[in-house]
Amino acid sequence: MTSADTSLQKDTRETRVPVLEARGLVKRYGPVTAIASGDLELYPGEILAVIGDNGAGKTSLIKALCGAIVPDSGEILLDGKPVTFRNPMDARQAGIETVYQSLAVAPGLDIADNLFLGREERKPGILGSVFRMLDKKHMRSEAKRHMSELGVATLQNIGQAVESLSGGQRQAVAVARSAAFGSKVVILDEPTAALGVKEGQRVLQLIRDVRDRGLPVILISHNMPHVFEIADRIHIQRLGRRVAVVTPQSHSMNDAVAIMTGAMAPPQT
Ligand SMILES: Nc1ncnc2c1ncn2[C@@H]1O[C@H](COP(=O)(O)OP(=O)(O)O)[C@@H](O)[C@H]1O
Ligand SMILES: [Mg+2]
């Protein structure tokens, strides 16, 4: 028996209920099958990395989980209960926050405004309900609290325009926002792709902090050292389906890349 078989046995012995689960999702665009059979389990308190070659269907799978696309068939379960997300707001309301591949911040706005983008808080009473006045002061103090909770310490000035921040700091804002509002799951699509080494490390630490505060994280990444540094489990996607789930302990980086590209047979199920 190979080490791969052993790790799979461990997976099938899993008895906890996944926080988020996909079963047999299918998504076609005309003749193109983006997701052939989308299966994924995210367990409480873990960082699940999703890796795969370009076109393997990683983004499509994640988009289905956060309501950005509606799958043709298959099932999504949250805390073991079937859910239907018709749009990203549905998923957000269910507690799933996503940071998309493109840097998802509004450069002209300041940090506090970015944190509350799309979910601005109104002043209490008639000022908010009738005059639609924003509760800037409250949003600012909440933003400060979230940023300091996550140790984004250099962002002293919460009123600083995001365009004046570095790529890593911007990404930190996007991750902090997802952690602040996600109550169940945080999904990050390539959060360190555009960052330098130091900034990448900062964002990795931020992701660990998010997990350690109790929010499970799905991390899509091409960066194998990053994946092997922080993932608890690694979901390998190939040609629109999951071919293996490995761990940094059960497999080497070379093994994972070989499974991902088809050079090595995935562990047998
Ligand atoms: N909106 C779309 N229209 C047509 N084809 C798409 C669309 N989105 C994704 N695809 C196709 O689906 C496949 C999977 O894409 P994607 O999920 O972006 O993969 P990955 O994120 O792993 O690179 C690719 O062949 C891609 O070209
Ligand atoms: Mg992608």
Ligand closest to the CA atom of residue 27: 1
pLDDT at position 141 is 75
pTM: 0.83
pLDDT at 265 over 70: yes
Give the lowest-confidence range in 19-28, 135-144, 242-251: 135-144
- Distance from the alpha carbon of residue 67 to the mean position of ligand 2, in angstroms: 16
Ligand closest to the CA atom of residue 50: 1
pLDDT at position 81 is 97
Q: What is the rounded CA–CA span in Å between residue 159 and residue 110? A: 5
Residues 263, 265, 269: CA angle, nearest 5 degrees:
155
CA distances from 221 to 11, 76, 88, 172, 216 (A): 22, 22, 21, 16, 16
Q: What is the mean pLDDT of residues 77-98?
A: 94
pLDDT at position 201 is 87
What confidence tens digit (pLDDT) does each residue in 175-194 have? 877 877 778 999 998 888 77
pLDDT at position 4 is 47
Q: Which residues line ligand 1 at a C-beta cut-off of 6 Å?
A: 29, 32, 34, 52, 54-60
Ligand 1: residue whose CA is nearest its atom 26: 55
- What DSSP character marks residue 103? -
* Residue 159 φ then ψ, to 5°: -95, 5
Among 25, 32, 58, the mutation site with the greatest number of ligand 1 atoms within 8 A of its Cβ is 32
Structure tokens at 43: 């367990």
Tell me if the domain spanning 1-95+189-269 has CATH number 3.40.50.620.
Answer: no
Q: Can you give the residue ranges of every domain in the chain?
A: 1-95+189-269, 104-181
Ligand closest to the CA atom of residue 63: 1
- Distance from the alpha carbon of residue 63 to the mean position of ligand 2, in angstroms: 10
What confidence tens digit (pLDDT) does each residue in 105-123 have? 666 677 777 676 666 666 7
Query: Which 3 state secondary structure label does DSSP give 46?
Result: coil
Furthest CA-CA distance within the chain? 69
